Structure 1
């Protein structure tokens, strides 16, 4: 908990599966906003509400309570997974109030390919990755050539930037599997559709959250994974 008692961070101190989703769901009852601030859809938070079970991988747990939920810039987002979770909430007649960061980075199919190949070649040093492309997407972010949600919702930017990203990752994949063949055009067309479907949720979440905290809104920051899985403090 910060000096501002209206903001609470929920962090796992082990290897994950500490029950962060359940704690978030409990505390969210008195919160205004629930924020996922890091990680991707390798997280798995299960929430039971009104005898219905919801399994979230990227959506903040407060969504089942129809709270305002934010996916912030520290996250990496698989648009296909996010849209599926949105559809699931809508199918259960939940009123979704979602805000998605314009600067969160985007997971692409070739990130998942690299994730699996790298895990295979690590041998005894395997990290136990979920092979969902989380690590390679963060690698592209750190290398400053990854694509953000802002690029995803602007088709004129998406094609040019995605081609560069695709070509770079294709070379990496061929280091492990020279026979790999991808389909750039198929990826491009699918992600154009994803972008237009998600466009209505996209804002500058950093600015927005700061304004809401200044207004003394109660905000919960929902962590993903656990401390012992972290790059700095984990194994």
Structure 2
């Protein structure tokens, strides 16, 4: 009986959905514990592609699915997601904790207003109402699942404070219809699973470098993204803690504004962006592209207490004529080996180490590696992974060589 955690080690979009789907069959339950529908976790398996915004990415594996109360739910988007999922699977077990706060139309409007007021200093949110909804929760004025089901929520203070009008009665009616079959005490259900020697997998949204405390504030998300928050969010005692599985992409990406020391020239970024399909699953926005950032990854690995790593999109770097990794920064004329959001990270210039480029891999090459194991991978690719392992002092257990579930190989 243990609770393992999948967490992103960069600025999000590392491929956590694929990792959770790949591992989910080993667990009795998968739990989303932070963020909300700003997440877009895409799973591709058996000629089927599905992007999850609320629902945990273990849905196609038939495992039990839970949404912890540290997360946010938009009932309208959730309803669409449930209807879409029902077209793919005949049945699924989904429970949402009754303490979970909800995103209302007012939160979405307010999110847009705040970005507009910030003008040039806007941070580039997904405009899904995440920040305002978490703010409302902190102010103790947001509706929760239980409030909607009990028809006990009064929107009057909410509307006056935010000066936003919407059809609250209709919203409440539709929200109740969506939520009534899924409300539960998730903490109790998870404890029961663990008490019967079951295993639980927590699924994080966004990435460590977007954490509102430990990320590149103010260019961060609104909920905690690190592994330790899984226990706070779900109410599960820390004694059930298993291992932390960090997910990193073979290069860096970021959506929206904020420092990114390894950001590369647009010409090369375009090649990688197209090869890796680096466009947001939720917003469709083009992601910024950079080389792998070892100082930032050391920081994220340490904060999460990462036990092992799942590296994704290695195949995208194949055929690129140069391969570089940032090993330190130059900040104000001084070489700095550690990443810290408290430093003048926006002016940091990456100091690189060149590695041997990975030869171009075609579909037949990848199939050969998947069939014959990690030792069949090009030596340059294996050296790249070993360099990362040694730099982070953390074992890389799996490597993804494509978007499909099966395009994954154990690193041995």
Q: TM class by shorter-chain length? A: 0.7 to 0.9
Q: Could you list the runs of 5+ residues in structure 2 that have no partner in the other structure?
A: 217-412
Scaled by the length of structure 2, what TM-score is found?
0.51
Task: Indicate the SS of the match to 1:130.
Answer: coil
Cα distance, 1:123 vs. partner? 2.7
In the alignment, which residue of structure 1 is the partner of 2:189? Answer: 208
CA distance in 2, matches of 1:123, 1:45: 29
Deviations 1:143-195 (A, max 9, x none): 1111111111122x03xx2233222221xx6xxxxxxxx23xx2321321221
Task: Indicate the SS of the match to 2:60.
Answer: helix
Task: Indicate the SS of the match to 2:4.
Answer: strand
State which of 173, 178, 181 in structure 2 corresponds to 1:197.
178
Task: Indicate the SS of the match to 1:11.
Answer: strand
RMSD of Structure 2 on Structure 1 (CA): 1.4
In the alignment, which residue of structure 1 is the partner of 2:210? Answer: 229
Scaled by the length of structure 1, what TM-score is found?
0.87
In the alignment, which residue of structure 2 is the partner of 1:42? Answer: 38
Which residues of 2 match residues 59-208 of structure 1 at below 5 A?
A: 59-155=55-151, 157-158=152-153, 161-170=154-163, 182-183=165-166, 186-208=167-189
Q: Could you list the runs of 5+ residues in structure 1 that have no partner in the other structure?
A: 174-181
CA distance in 2, matches of 1:188, 1:217: 41
CA distance in 2, matches of 1:94, 1:226: 32
State which of 4, 7, 13 in structure 2 corresponds to 1:8.
4
Aligned residues: 216
CA distance in 1, matches of 2:183, 2:170: 20
Please state which structure has a larger fraction of its residues in helix: 1
Structure number with the bigger relative contact order (C-alpha 8 A, sep ≥ 6) is: 1
Task: Indicate the SS of the match to 1:200.
Answer: coil
CA distance in 2, matches of 1:43, 1:30: 23
Cα distance, 1:207 vs. partner? 2.1
Deviations 1:124-152 (A, max 9, x none): 33221001000100001111111111111
Structure 1 residues 69 and 128, CA gap change in structure 2 (3 angstroms): same
Contact 2:6 2:204 in 1 (8 A): yes
Cα distance, 1:94 vs. partner? 3.1
Please state which structure has a larger fraction of its residues in strand: 2
Cα distance, 1:93 vs. partner? 3.4
Contact 2:24 2:201 in 1 (8 A): yes
In the alignment, which residue of structure 2 is the partner of 1:17? Answer: 13
Contact 1:162 1:188 in 2 (8 A): no
